[in-house]
Amino acid sequence: MANPTGHTVKAFDEDLDQLRASIAEMGGLAEAAIAESMRALVQRDGQSALRVIEDDAKLDALEAEVERQAVQVIALRAPMADDLREVVAALKIAGVVERIGDYAKNIAKRVVVIEEAPDLKPLSLLPEMARIVAEMVHNVLDAFAARDADKAAAVCERDKAVDDFYSSIFRALLTFMMENPNHITPATHLLFVAKNLERIGDHATNVAEMVYFAATGNHLAERERGYDTTLEADG
């Protein structure tokens, strides 16, 4: 019943490679969007920010392309259990990477609305936090391409550092707001920037869990689904 079209394993593997290549391309765009949006934030560069916002359409288009490819692979190759699961995983990972791009776009949008902002010290922590989450995105897609469970597990471990950054930045921003009411509006925007970075880390972690499961058949030790793991430290 399965594999009724008599496709060669090779044809399916080539299709899967094509899917992986599209996802790797998405990952590269998402990484660049994170780095560029943060550079634009730090340098108050509205033009670069607008470019990040525009470029997000490419990620959306690539996700639609991955979906089209995945549906076609399923329809043409009728893959069996494990192979099918792999195609479904690719579909889900593409969705997550697209959302990571949306978070970077949101950061870029903040750059456009923060017309002027006093020098806030927590701003200096944000690029470092961004560097870590961009690396997580990079490494998790490497892990996906190489089906490397250890590398995926290493990505999950870094999420704790991201959460610690978020908590530090959150506290620092609250302190700045309390010191001076003029800081409240810009600090609120930076709070959402920090939150966006924290979510990117969560999403990279979720992908890492999918990659780990696909490669080993086992779940990484139980942990909360990614959202707002830092919440308890907020207040």
Shortest reach from residue 109's CB to a copy of itself, in Å: 5
Q: By CB under 8 A, is residue 74 in contact with a copy of itself?
A: yes
Q: By CB under 8 A, is residue 203 in contact with a copy of itself?
A: no
Shortest reach from residue 228's CB to a copy of itself, in Å: 5
Amino acid at the residue 194: A
Give the tokens for residue 35.
């780095």
Q: What is the DSSP string of 146-186?
A: HT-HHHHHHHHHHHHHHHHHHHHHHHHHHHHHHH-GGGHHH
Q: By CB under 8 A, is residue 91 in contact with a copy of itself?
A: yes
Shortest reach from residue 95's CB to a copy of itself, in Å: 7
Rule CB under 8 A: choose which of 105, 139, 155, 156 binds a copy of itself. Answer: 105
Per-residue contact flags (x/-) with a copy of itself for residues 112 to 151, judged by CB under 8 A: xxxx------------------------------------
Q: By CB under 8 A, is residue 65 in contact with a copy of itself?
A: no
Rule CB under 8 A: choose which of 9, 11, 61, 76 binds a copy of itself. Answer: 76
Who's near 88: CB < 8 A, 6+ residues apart? 70
CB-nearer residue toward a copy of itself: 146 or 174: 174
Q: Which of 111, 93, 95 is nearest to 196 (CA)?
A: 111
Contact at 8 Å (CB) between 208 and 155?
yes
Rule CB under 8 A: choose which of 15, 31, 102, 159 binds a copy of itself. Answer: 102
Who's near 221: CB < 8 A, 6+ residues apart? none
Q: By CB under 8 A, is residue 2 in contact with a copy of itself?
A: yes
Who's near 48: CB < 8 A, 6+ residues apart? 36, 39, 40, 108, 111
Q: By CB under 8 A, is residue 234 in contact with a copy of itself?
A: yes
